[in-house]
């Protein structure tokens, strides 16, 4: 039986984010190492007791479908082995629970043009009139 991984702790890579299930580490400026933990959550609350092997299963399922659908649409996988991006001194998560991905581009900021309240009102749809009831 495998031991459960509630929280990963890679000392050789900077932590970017810790989500409900995955921990994301920066690998340079263009890649991310995603480590699937065994945490579970319900109604956006992370439970205290993890399920052993859950992160490995999630990663295996994701890798299966990314491979199966690669000819349909491109994906974010880099093809690098997770062990190749983690320093040897760092406690390494099991290879079957992590994957190396390309970092998504940063979103552009929306333009900050403001409209006056009167112009905003003029763009709103006209109120619907009530139908005359035939009585």
Instruction: Tell me the CATH number at 34.
Output: 3.30.200.20
Domain count, the chain: 1
Residues of the chain short of pLDDT 70, as ranges, are 1-2, 88-100, 106, 108, 110-135
Give the model's pLDDT for residue 103: 74
134 assigned to some structural domain: no
122 assigned to some structural domain: no
Tokens of 132: 């005359």
133 assigned to some structural domain: no
4 assigned to some structural domain: no
Give the model's pLDDT for residue 72: 92
One-character DSSP codes across 67-90: HHTTTTS--SB----GGGTS-TTS
57 assigned to some structural domain: yes
pTM, two decimals, is 0.65
d(CA 52, CA 37): 9
d(CA 72, CA 45): 35
Tokens of 110: 């929306």
Give me the domain span that covers residue 95: 15-104
39 assigned to some structural domain: yes
């Amino acid at each position: 039986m495998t031991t459960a991984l509630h929280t990963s702790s890679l000392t050789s890579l900077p932590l970017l984010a810790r989500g409900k299930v995955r921990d994301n580490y920066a690998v340079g400026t263009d890649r991310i190492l995603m480590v699937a933990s065994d945490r579970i959550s319900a109604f956006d609350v992370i439970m205290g007791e993890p399920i052993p092997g859950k992160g490995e299963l999630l990663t295996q399922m994701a890798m299966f479908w990314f491979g199966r659908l690669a000819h349909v649409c491109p994906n974010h996988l880099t093809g690098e082995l997770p062990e190749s991006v983690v320093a040897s001194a760092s406690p390494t998560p099991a290879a079957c629970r992590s994957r190396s991905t390309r970092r998504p581009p940063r979103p552009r900021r929306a333009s900050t043009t403001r409209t006056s309240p009167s112009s905003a009102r003029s763009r709103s749809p006209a109120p619907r009139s009530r139908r005359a009831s035939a009585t």
